[in-house]
């Protein structure tokens, strides 16, 4: 006879696991990183994936100049999730990290150190000085590359960290130089004169991607250009009024643009109350829509004299308003599509050296200018320091007190506007003036305003037909049908998968409308533009003055030197003799000293990473689908890179290979604070990934990334992270419970699916259903959907439903119980699949759990693929039946919650509800279900028909009502179920007969086996 006071807890199959409830991630994660390093995980991943199709995530290089921030963390975690998930989907998914190491920010940091030490800036014309400076830049970049590498590894990012690429590696610089030389060879590289965005502070041209728009207060002027020639006598004494927010560009004016779609008129001043400018009788030509606004600004009253037609304007030539200072040339009128009557006067002051549209219309009008005898030369009115030149008479070096300045070297507004406005007033040409606060381009580095300035720069032509290497490797030679770089790039965009799809339209518009690519910078730290230009006609070499030398022997010598010494080799030889001789005389050539735009650097990374089997043997043999192979290359960066890295990579590859360097492009948004504000140290609303890792662990950060909609801007902050940590806790505890339960699972106890109870077969159906969704979402890069699906499945289907129901069976059933064995079989499958599905996202926790289940020095979930989901697990009919069961269960659960709230019961096992089902079809469908088991009560009665009026009901489940009743009998001392003591085994009178069978089997086990 068993003592009634016996403690039965030792006889229960309670969960047993060393997997802790609290993650302790800040301490555990470094241990796992050390384990992966010991395993040589990157090499192991390559070994297990041999012969699989490759999925290469080519890294968009971060800039090596500081600690990583939350945006870096978002980017790298997304990349890691892509890489890990594609590996588990059956690819050889390879990630080689890289760094962008050239450029102005690093130069600035080194120069700051010079200033702090009182050292003078080096003389970059001195080979020794410039290479010493470059060495300091290289050391600075190397330091931060190593710092960032450790920070990225701490995020759990798997990659070839021992062999990353960097744009400053000698091999990289050699290839970058070779790529720019390819553009010289195909004729797209040219030196020209164009207005470029110029930073006076940084003394360099800026690409579109280096500019951001900020609020700025500009001077506005309305200026009268006297009509000099016209076929309409009414216009002979009139003036055309233009409006501009850059008065300093007036010395650069060479034309006026109008639109044939706009209605213009001639107006005569009747009265004026101004201090300068328009007086009674003056006549002005202005767009009708804007005339009154101009009159108000000029403090005048005027009357309309006559309409002015587009034909009238086409035959007008004006004089420059500052002709008395030496601006004696004719000012023609152009019909331009860019002109509107939304603001201003309907006329656009056109200074081809200071605006893109101004330049374009000036160049497009070359034939007309020649016909009128107008010099098409574009002046250089402003120098690199922001001062006027001799091309701006009256404001340049000839001016009393020296040249006026547009912007100072500190980025402040200079005296140029005031000087020009004063001259306009003296010439009686200023109609009105004012100030305007608007969005104006600033350098993203210095945060100071930039100017459009005509400069000699190196460009890659977008619209010049060229020969390119086609997809089959042959050279396209289609005569007049040769494509332009713009044509090839636009075609390649259509062949690329864009995630999200809106990215295609965005980059398509940017490529379609972009100007020629400025690829030169006047700096020291970068890969040099390694070309030579003929100083004079060289008929013996087939060259004319200013032609770029194209010679395979010279190019090979440049490449070999860079491979051995890096770009320093270029600067070390002032004349270029080592590259030119013995084939050419250095005296005949100018050695270009500009460096290549860093966007060209990073745009060339595919060439020296994906295509260099010597430097990156792990990528050797890659053959993309576009080339007839099975491999895929993805680029993944922030959405701003449509105008940055995606853009430059596309153009670089299309110009040298005739196709895009990528097959898939994925973009993500930016990180804001919890209130949707941009993060700023001054606002104190930044969230540092290092802090999250230190306090919560990298997996919490990774979970935040995967739970967020990365396609939009993401928010982060203490409250959001608190919610993320709570969700993590629930998932971890679900995993922990599975591990604990599986401690009692023996492989030989595995149960065949067709012999399992319905509940187990239902869970396998749900597992298959969820698996299809999860794996498809991984293919679609829809991580938010995966996270939401898994969280719901593990928290609701498993923890709150299946596990809750099966705890009694698992803990209390006899060891021989088929239901218990079936449940363990299913839990084993649940663990194997869910942990694999979580592994790309929660890389640390998933591997910790996997090792707990599959101990061994070489085991890791990351070496696995997603497990097969047998088609036989799907059972839609069973799922529909159990949908009905669960709806009935909801009503019972609601009734029991009410009983608990009223203190009529404590545990649900104290209840024995009567369940009334009025719907005959529903009753028939669920009549064979043991609702006591499903509802975790000691008993349950199913009754056909409508229940009593006072029965518990839920409106959303019509036809089901529950009458709550307390369970009769005695409480089992082992399982806590209530039972009829008359049914008890005489040897175990205080427990149910089921528990008595379990006790007999437990006591029959060999000592210690339990």
CATH number for position 903: 3.30.2320.20
CATH (domain of 792)? 1.10.730.20
In a domain? residue 763: yes
Nearest by Cα to 916 from 905, 906, 904, 926: 926
Parallel, antiparallel, or unpaired: how do β-strands 238-244 and 211-229 relate? antiparallel
Pair 257, 349 in one domain: yes
Torsion sign, CA atoms 461, 467, 472, 474: negative
CATH (domain of 221)? 3.90.740.10
Nearest by Cα to 200 from 458, 480, 484, 443: 443
Average pLDDT over every residue of 772-791 = 97
In a domain? residue 768: yes
Model pLDDT for residues 173-187, shown as the tens digit of each residue = 999 999 999 999 999
**Contacts of residue 481, Cβ cutoff 8 Å, sequence gap at least 6:** none
Lookup: tokens for 355:
């605006």
Q: Which residue has the tokens 């059956």?
A: 90
Pair 862, 801 in one domain: yes
In a domain? residue 792: yes
pLDDT of the residue at 338:
84
pLDDT of the residue at 1:
42
Q: Which residues are annotated as a binding site for ATP?
A: 681
Label residue 69 exposed, middle or buried (CB < 10 Å: 0-12, 13-18, 19+): middle
Report the distance separating Cα 807 and Cα 793, nearest Å: 18
The three-state (H, E, C) secondary structure of 51-76, written as one string:
CCCEEEEECCCCECCCCCCHHHHHHH
Q: For residue 530, how many C-alpha atoms fall within 13 Å in the half-sphere facing its CB? A: 36
The model's confidence at residue 1009, banded by pLDDT at 50, 70 and 90, is: low
pLDDT of the residue at 5:
65
Pair 268, 346 in one domain: yes
Pair 853, 905 in one domain: no
Pair 903, 830 in one domain: no
Beta carbons within 10 angstroms of residue 503's beta carbon: 21
In a domain? residue 104: no
* Sheet containing 914-917: order of strands: 941-944, 914-917, 960-963, 952-953
In a domain? residue 675: no
Whether residue 474 is predicted with pLDDT greater than 50 in this model: the reply is: no
Model pLDDT for residues 905-952, shown as the tens digit of each residue = 999 999 999 999 999 999 999 999 999 999 999 999 999 999 999 999
Lookup: tokens for 129:
């000085």
Lookup: tokens for 581:
């001789």
Can the peptide bond before residue 500 be classed as cis, meaning omega within 30 degrees of 0? yes
Report the distance separating Cα 484 and Cα 270, nearest Å: 55
Average pLDDT over every residue of 687-695 = 95
Helices (H), 684-717: 689-695, 698-707
Pair 748, 764 in one domain: yes
Report the domain count for the chain: 3
> For 802, which DSSP code?
I
Pair 257, 234 in one domain: yes
Label residue 823 exposed, middle or buried (CB < 10 Å: 0-12, 13-18, 19+): buried
Average pLDDT over every residue of 85-109 = 93
Model pLDDT for residues 13-28, shown as the tens digit of each residue = 999 999 999 989 999 9
Report the distance separating Cα 257 and Cα 747, nearest Å: 84
| Lowest-pLDDT choice from 47-56, 168-177, 394-403, 814-823 | 394-403
Average pLDDT over every residue of 581-600 = 95
Q: Which residues are annotated as a binding site?
A: 637, 681
Phi-psi region of 810 (alpha: psi -120 to 50; beta: other; left: phi over 0): alpha
Distance set, CA 364 to CA 250, 334, 471, 485 (Å): 21, 10, 34, 20
Chain-centroid distance of CA 533 in Å reads 39
CB 593 within 8 A of CB 586: no
**Contacts of residue 594, Cβ cutoff 8 Å, sequence gap at least 6:** 457, 458, 520, 521, 522, 528, 529
Average pLDDT over every residue of 373-379 = 83
| Lowest-pLDDT choice from 51-60, 269-278, 714-723 | 269-278
Nearest by Cα to 705 from 120, 7, 13, 157: 157
| SS3 of residue 614 by DSSP | coil
Pair 709, 832 in one domain: yes
Q: Which residue has the tokens 């200071």?
A: 354
Domain that holds residue 899: 878-968
Whether residue 473 is predicted with pLDDT greater than 60 in this model: the reply is: no
Report the distance separating Cα 350 and Cα 359, nearest Å: 8
pLDDT of the residue at 469:
55
The model's confidence at residue 472, banded by pLDDT at 50, 70 and 90, is: very low
Pair 841, 906 in one domain: no
In a domain? residue 721: yes
The pTM score is 0.83
pLDDT of the residue at 479:
46
pLDDT of the residue at 1010:
53
> For 800, which DSSP code?
I
| SS3 of residue 226 by DSSP | strand
Greatest distance between any 2 Cα atoms in the chain: 128
Model pLDDT for residues 866-875, shown as the tens digit of each residue = 999 999 999 9
| SS3 of residue 189 by DSSP | strand
The model's confidence at residue 6, banded by pLDDT at 50, 70 and 90, is: confident
CB 395 within 8 A of CB 404: yes
| Lowest-pLDDT choice from 16-20, 456-460, 504-508 | 456-460
In a domain? residue 341: yes
Lookup: tokens for 478:
């289609």
| Lowest-pLDDT choice from 362-371, 451-460, 776-785 | 362-371
Q: Which residues are annotated as a binding site for L-isoleucyl-5'-AMP?
A: 637
Report the distance separating Cα 250 and Cα 216, nearest Å: 20
Beta carbons within 10 angstroms of residue 912's beta carbon: 18
CB 798 within 8 A of CB 764: no
Pair 868, 924 in one domain: no
Whether residue 995 is predicted with pLDDT greater than 90 in this model: the reply is: yes
Torsion sign, CA atoms 343, 349, 353, 357: positive
> What totals of helices (H) and strands (E) does the chain contain, helices first?
31, 33
Parallel, antiparallel, or unpaired: how do β-strands 532-534 and 589-591 relate? antiparallel
Average pLDDT for the chain: 91
With a pLDDT cut of 90, the percent of the chain lying above it is: 70
Whether residue 95 is predicted with pLDDT greater than 90 in this model: the reply is: yes
**Contacts of residue 462, Cβ cutoff 8 Å, sequence gap at least 6:** 484, 485, 486, 514, 515, 516, 517
| SS3 of residue 690 by DSSP | helix
The model's confidence at residue 537, banded by pLDDT at 50, 70 and 90, is: very high
Pair 305, 373 in one domain: yes
CB 202 within 8 A of CB 225: no
**Contacts of residue 998, Cβ cutoff 8 Å, sequence gap at least 6:** 11, 812, 813, 814, 815, 817, 974
Report the distance separating Cα 868 and Cα 847, nearest Å: 19
Element (H, E) at 603: helix 598-603
Average pLDDT over every residue of 715-734 = 95
Choose from 1-5, 421-425, 773-777 the range with maximum mean pLDDT: 773-777
Average pLDDT over every residue of 219-232 = 90
Report the distance separating Cα 20 and Cα 737, nearest Å: 10
* Sheet containing 54-58: order of strands: 92-96, 54-58, 632-638, 664-668, 497-499
Lookup: tokens for 741:
């339960």
Model pLDDT for residues 624-651, shown as the tens digit of each residue = 998 999 999 999 999 999 989 999 999 9
Whether residue 43 is predicted with pLDDT greater than 60 in this model: the reply is: yes
In a domain? residue 97: no
The model's confidence at residue 476, banded by pLDDT at 50, 70 and 90, is: very low
CB 763 within 8 A of CB 829: no
Average pLDDT over every residue of 198-224 = 82
The three-state (H, E, C) secondary structure of 245-268, written as one string:
CCHHHHHHCCEEEECCCCCEEEEE
pLDDT of the residue at 271:
85
The three-state (H, E, C) secondary structure of 114-168, written as one string:
HHHHCCCCCCCCCHHHHHHHHHHHHHHHHHHHHHHHHHHHHCCCCCCCCCCEECC
Concatenating the DSSP letter of every residue in 776-809 gives HHHHTT-HHHHHHHHHHIIIIIIIIIIIHHHHHH
Average pLDDT over every residue of 98-117 = 89
Lookup: tokens for 7:
């403690």
> For 983, which DSSP code?
G
**Contacts of residue 140, Cβ cutoff 8 Å, sequence gap at least 6:** 65, 106, 109, 110
Nearest by Cα to 845 from 860, 830, 833: 860
Pair 823, 956 in one domain: no
Q: At what angle do helices 783-792 and 818-838 cross, to 10 degrees?
A: 160
Average pLDDT over every residue of 422-427 = 91
pLDDT of the residue at 843:
98
């Amino acid at each position: 006879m068993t003592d009634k006071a016996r403690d039965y807890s030792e006889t229960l199959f309670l969960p047993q696991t060393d997997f802790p409830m609290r993650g302790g991630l800040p301490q555990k994660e470094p241990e796992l990183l050390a384990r992966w390093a010991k395993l040589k995980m990157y090499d192991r991943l390559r070994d297990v994936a041999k012969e699989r199709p490759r999925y290469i995530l080519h890294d968009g290089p971060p800039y090596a100049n500081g600690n990583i921030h939350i945006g870096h963390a978002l980017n790298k975690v997304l990349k890691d999730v892509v890489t890990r998930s594609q590996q588990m989907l059956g690819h050889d998914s390879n990630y080689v990290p890289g760094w962008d190491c050239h450029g102005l920010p690093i130069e600035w940091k080194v120069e700051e150190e010079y200033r702090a030490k009182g050292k003078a800036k080096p003389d970059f014309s001195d080979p020794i000085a410039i290479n010493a400076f470059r060495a300091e830049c290289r050391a600075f970049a190397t330091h931060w590359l190593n710092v960032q590498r450790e920070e990225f590894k701490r995020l759990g990012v798997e990659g070839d960290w021992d062999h990353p690429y960097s744009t400053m590696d000698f091999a990289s610089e050699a290839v970058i130089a070779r790529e720019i030389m390819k553009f010289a060879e195909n004729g797209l590289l040219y030196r020209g004169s164009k207005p470029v965005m110029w930073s006076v502070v940084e003394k360099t041209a800026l690409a579109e991607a280096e500019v951001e728009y900020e609020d700025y207060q500009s001077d506005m002027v309305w200026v009268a250009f006297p009509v000099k020639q016209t076929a309409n006598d009414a216009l002979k004494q009139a003036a055309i009024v233009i409006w501009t927010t850059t008065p300093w560009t007036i010395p650069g004016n060479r034309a006026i643009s109008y639109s044939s779609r706009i209605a213009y008129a001639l107006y005569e001043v009747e009265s004026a109350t101004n201090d300068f400018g328009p007086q009674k009788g003056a006549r002005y030509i202005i767009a009708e829509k804007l005339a009154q606004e101009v009159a108000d600004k000029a403090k005048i009253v005027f009357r309309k004299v006559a309409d002015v037609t587009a034909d009238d304007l086409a035959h007008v030539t004006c004089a420059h308003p500052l002709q008395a200072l030496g601006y004696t040339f004719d000012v023609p009128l152009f019909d331009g599509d860019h002109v509107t009557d939304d603001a201003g006067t309907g006329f656009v002051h056109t200074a081809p050296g200071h605006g893109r549209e101004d330049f374009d219309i000036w160049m497009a009008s070359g034939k007309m200018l020649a016909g009128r005898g107008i010099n098409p030369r574009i002046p250089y009115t402003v120098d690199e320091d922001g001062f006027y030149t001799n091309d701006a008479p009256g404001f340049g070096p000839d001016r009393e007190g020296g040249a006026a300045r547009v912007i100072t070297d500190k980025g402040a507004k200079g005296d140029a506007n005031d000087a020009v406005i004063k001259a306009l007033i003296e010439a009686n040409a200023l109609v009105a003036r004012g100030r305007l606060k608007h969005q104006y381009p600033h350098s993203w580095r210095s945060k100071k305003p930039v100017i459009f300035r005509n400069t000699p720069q190196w460009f890659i032509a977008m619209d010049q037909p060229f020969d390119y290497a086609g997809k089959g490797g042959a050279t396209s030679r289609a005569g007049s049908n040769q494509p332009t770089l713009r044509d090839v790039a636009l075609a390649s965009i259509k062949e690329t998968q864009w995630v999200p799809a809106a990215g295609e339209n965005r980059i398509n518009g940017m490529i379609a409308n972009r100007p020629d690519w400025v690829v030169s910078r006047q700096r020291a730290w970068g890969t040099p533009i390694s070309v030579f230009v003929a100083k004079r006609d060289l008929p013996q070499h087939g060259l004319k003055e200013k032609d770029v030398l194209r010679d395979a022997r010279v190019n090979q010598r440049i490449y070999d030197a860079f491979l051995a010494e890096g770009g320093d080799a270029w600067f070390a030889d002032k004349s270029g003799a080592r590259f030119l001789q013995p084939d050419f005389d250095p005296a005949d050539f100018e050695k270009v000293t500009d460096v290549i735009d860093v966007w060209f650097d990073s745009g060339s990374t595919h060439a020296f990473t994906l295509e260099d089997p010597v430097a990156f043997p792990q990528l050797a043999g890659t053959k993309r689908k576009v080339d007839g192979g099975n491999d895929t290359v993805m680029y993944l960066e922030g959405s701003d890179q449509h105008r940055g890295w995606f853009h430059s990579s596309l153009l670089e590859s299309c110009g040298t290979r005739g196709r895009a360097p990528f097959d898939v492009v994925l973009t993500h948004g930016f990180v804001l604070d919890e209130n949707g504000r941009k993060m700023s140290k001054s606002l104190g609303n930044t969230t540092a990934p290092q802090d999250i890792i230190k306090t919560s662990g990298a997996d919490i950060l990774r979970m935040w990334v995967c739970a967020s909609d990365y396609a939009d801007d993401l928010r982060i902050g203490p409250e959001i992270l608190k919610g993320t940590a709570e969700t993590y806790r629930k998932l971890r505890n679900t995993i922990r419970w599975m591990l604990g339960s599986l401690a009692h699972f023996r492989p030989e106890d595995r149960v065949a699916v067709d012999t399992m109870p319905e509940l187990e077969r239902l869970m396998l159906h749900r597992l298959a259903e969820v698996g299809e969704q999860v794996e498809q979402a991984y293919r679609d890069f829809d991580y938010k959907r995966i996270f939401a699906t898994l969280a719901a499945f593990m928290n609701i289907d498993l923890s709150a439903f299946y596990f809750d129901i099966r705890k009694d069976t698992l803990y209390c059933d006899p060891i021989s119980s088929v239901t218990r064995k079936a449940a363990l079989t299913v839990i084993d499958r649940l663990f194997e699949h869910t942990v694999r599905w979580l592994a790309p996202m929660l890389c640390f926790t998933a591997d910790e759990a996997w090792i707990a289940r599959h101990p061994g020095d070489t085991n890791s979930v990351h070496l696995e693929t997603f497990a097969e989901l047998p088609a036989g697990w799907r059972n839609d009919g069973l799922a529909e039946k159990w949908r009905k069961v669960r709806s009935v269960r909801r009503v019972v659960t609601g009734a029991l919650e009410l009983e608990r709230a009223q203190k009529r019961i404590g545990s649900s096992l104290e209840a024995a509800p009567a369940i009334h089902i009025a719907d005959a079809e529903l009753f028939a469908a669920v009549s064979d279900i043991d609702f006591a088991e499903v509802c975790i009560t000691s008993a349950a009665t199913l009754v056909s028909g409508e229940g009593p009026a006072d029965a518990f009901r839920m409106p959303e489940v019509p036809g089901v009502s529950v009458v709550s009743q307390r369970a009769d009998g005695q409480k089992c001392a082992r399982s806590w179920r209530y039972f009829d003591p008359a049914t008890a085994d005489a040897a175990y009178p205080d427990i149910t007969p089921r528990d008595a069978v379990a006790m007999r089997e437990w006591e029959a086990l060999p000592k210690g086996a339990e």
